[in-house]
Amino acid sequence: MAYETILYEVESQVATLTINRPKALNALSPQVLDEVSRAIDEAAADKSVRVMILTGAGKAFVAGADIAVMSTMSPLEARRFARKGQEVLFMLERLEKPVIAAVNGFALGGGCEISMACDFIWASEKAKFGQPEVNLGVMPGFGGTQRLSRLVGKNWAKELCLTGGMISADQAKEIGLVNRVFPADEFMSEVNKMAQEMAGKGRVALRGIKNMVDEGYDLPLERALSMEAEAFATCFASNDQKEGMSAFLEKRKPKFRTNFR
């Protein structure tokens, strides 16, 4: 499938989606969002893909939404643009395969928002995070006020959104936005190593863990635990469970083969 604003490749069961507008610092235009959506669908349909990496070309991850496009929008057009962005980010969350946000540089506005829709964030020491929309007379529209508060708490979310300031990768790690920070020259090597490690896990378990953490997060504990028990039981209907436990007892590395879309 041909793309103009992103790069998409699959190698060794890992799909890498790279926002590829380096001259525009990978700003999210409607075309970029459409192409990201198509790539997510492609990864979902490809049984060889077990893990996805989302990153950016050049010195930015994604430096925000495309201001040149937004500057002339009417309120109705702005609403449609926000909903389009939100829908694409929901697609990332709902992809039944783990997605690593590999934040190599600026993750501002829409860039911070798209990283938060991934399953976890690994960052280069050069990365910067922020929600600077208030500096433009607007506010986050792709989920920034909502996902950020759920990840780091209301106070930090309000500070970042109300001041429009940027924080470093280390600061982002301190407040719980980022999982790990790596030296720039080791960054993508470490991301790819983790992606390959996860790709070797059982697919049924990967899907179940991702779904349960996301779906159970806002539910009452008793209901969420009941759902977890059902998902746990489902694993025992798969070849993955049989292979994983047999390999453990036989002291060998498991070879998981279960496929799903």
Task: Check if 197 is active-site.
Answer: no
Domain assignment of residue 166, given as a range? 6-199
Tell me which H or E stretch contains 1. none
189 and 207 housed in the same domain: no
Residues 6+ apart with CB under 8 A from 175: 152, 153, 156, 167
Domains: count for the chain: 2
Task: Check if 133 is active-site.
Answer: yes
Q: What's the average pLDDT block by block, 10 residues per block, for the chain (261 residues)?
A: 93 96 94 97 95 97 91 95 96 96 97 98 98 96 96 97 98 98 97 96 93 94 96 94 95 81 48
113 and 220 housed in the same domain: no
Cβ distance 44 to 78 under 8 Å?
Answer: no
Catalytic residue among 42, 96, 125, 133: 133
158 and 215 housed in the same domain: no
50 and 92 housed in the same domain: yes
pLDDT of 65: 86
137 and 243 housed in the same domain: no
193 and 181 housed in the same domain: yes
As a whole number of angstroms, the distance between CA 178 and CA 189 comes to 18
DSSP E strand stretches across the chain: 6-11, 14-19, 51-56, 60-62, 99-103, 106-108, 120-124, 128-130, 166-168, 180-182
Catalytic residue among 9, 42, 77, 113: 113
Give pTM, 2 decimals.
Answer: 0.93
Largest CA distance in the chain: 64
